[in-house]
Structure 1
Amino acid sequence: MWQFKQFEELSAKDYHQIAKERTKVFVVEQGSAYQEIDDIDLHAVHVIKRQKGVIKAYARVYKENKKMHLGRVLVPAEFRSEGHGRELLKVALDYIICKHPKAEIEIQAEAYLKEFYESFGFKVTSDLYYDEEIGHYDMELSKEQTTVSP
C-alpha cells in the first residue's frame, strides 16, 4: 500500500522504520559514514510502500529553490528486482506532477542508475562527481516533460 505522509503525520514507529531502512541502504550497505538524517525530513513528503508492515520502497519529495526534488530513493536489497523501484518512481512522479504541475524535478542519481532515471525522461545536468566515494550525476526532468506522466 502506498502512503504519502508529511513529517507530522509519521508515527514514531513509521519514522523509525524509515530511518532504519535509509541507514541500512545509504550508510551500511554503501559503506558511507555521513549524516543520513537531516532537516529536509521535516518538510518533505515521505512516499512509502508497505506490505504486511514492511517497507518495500521509499523516497522523499520536497521543494527547494523553486524546484521539486526526489531523494533518498530506495528499495531494500531483499526486495530488489521485484519492480518496486520502477513503481516507486512512477508513483512519486505522478504525485509531484499532480501537486506541482509543470515543476522541474531534480534528483542526485547514483551513476549506476543513470539509465534507469533516463527511462523516465530525466536528463543529465552535471559531469560525473563523487559524493561519499560514490559516483553521481545531477539529473532533471524538465517542465515540458512533467506535463505527461512517464
Structure 2
Amino acid sequence: MLLDKTFSQLTTTELFQIYRLRAAVFIVAQSRVVQDPDDVDLIARHIFIKDGDAIVAYARVYPADGGVSFGRVVTAASHRGQGLGRELMDGVMDCIRKYFPGNPIHIHAQEQVERFYYQWGFQSEGAPFILAQTPHVKMTHPAI
C-alpha cells in the first residue's frame, strides 16, 4: 500500500519505522556519516510503501532550489527485486504533479542508481561529486 503524508500526519510508529529503515541502509549498510533525521523531514511529503504494518520503501519530496526535490529513496533489503522502487517512484512523481506542479525537479542521485532515474525522464548534469562519502550525480527533470 502506497501512502503520502506530511510530517504531522505520520504516526509515531510510522516515523520510527522510516528512521529505522533509512538508518539501516544509509548509515549502517552504506557506512555513511549523515545527519538523519534532518530539518527537511519537517517540510517534506513522505511517500512510503507498507507490507502489512511494516514500511518497506520510502522517499521524501520537498521544495528546494526554486523547484522541487526528493531524496532518502530506500527499499528494505528484504523487499528488493519486487518492483517497489518503480512503484515508489511512480508515487513520487504523482506527488510532484499534485503538490508541486510546474516546478522543475532537481536531485542528487547516488551514482549507482543514475540509470534507474532515466526511466522517468531525468537527465544527468555535470561530473559526479562526493556527498556524504558517496559518489552522486546531479540530475534534473523539466517541470511537470
**TM-score interval for Structure 1 and Structure 2 normalised by the shorter chain:** over 0.9
Does residue 78 of structure 1 match 2:81?
Answer: no
CA contact (8 A) 2:43 2:62 kept: yes
Question: Counterpart in 1 of 2:101?
Answer: 101
- Structure with the bigger percentage of strand: 2
Question: Counterpart in 2 of 1:132?
Answer: 132
1:102 is displaced (CA, Å) by: 2.2
1:72-112 alpha-carbon deviations (Å, 9 max, x no partner): 00111111110000111111101111222221111111101
Question: Counterpart in 2 of 1:34?
Answer: 34
Structure 1: segments with no counterpart, 5+ residues: none
Question: Counterpart in 1 of 2:68?
Answer: 68
Structure 2: segments with no counterpart, 5+ residues: none
With normalisation by structure 2, the TM-score equals: 0.95
Amino acid at match of 1:68: V
C-alpha separation in 1, matches of 2:48 and 2:2: 6
With normalisation by structure 1, the TM-score equals: 0.91
CA contact (8 A) 1:75 1:85 kept: yes
CA contact (8 A) 1:3 1:47 kept: yes
SS at match of 1:38: coil
CA contact (8 A) 1:108 1:138 kept: yes
Q: Structure 1 stretches (4+) deviating beyond 6 angstroms?
A: none
Question: Counterpart in 2 of 1:17?
Answer: 17
Amino acid at match of 2:112: Y
Alignment of 1:116-127 (within 5 A): 116-127=116-127
Number of aligned residue pairs = 144
CA contact (8 A) 1:70 1:107 kept: yes
Provide the identity percentage. 33
1:125 is displaced (CA, Å) by: 1.8
1:7 is displaced (CA, Å) by: 0.8
Q: Tell me the C-alpha RMSD between the 2 structures.
A: 1.1
SS at match of 1:128: strand
1:127 is displaced (CA, Å) by: 1.0
1:18-61 alpha-carbon deviations (Å, 9 max, x no partner): 00000001100100122121000001000011021111210000
Question: Counterpart in 2 of 1:88?
Answer: 88
Question: Counterpart in 1 of 2:48?
Answer: 48
Amino acid at match of 1:132: A
SS at match of 2:127: coil
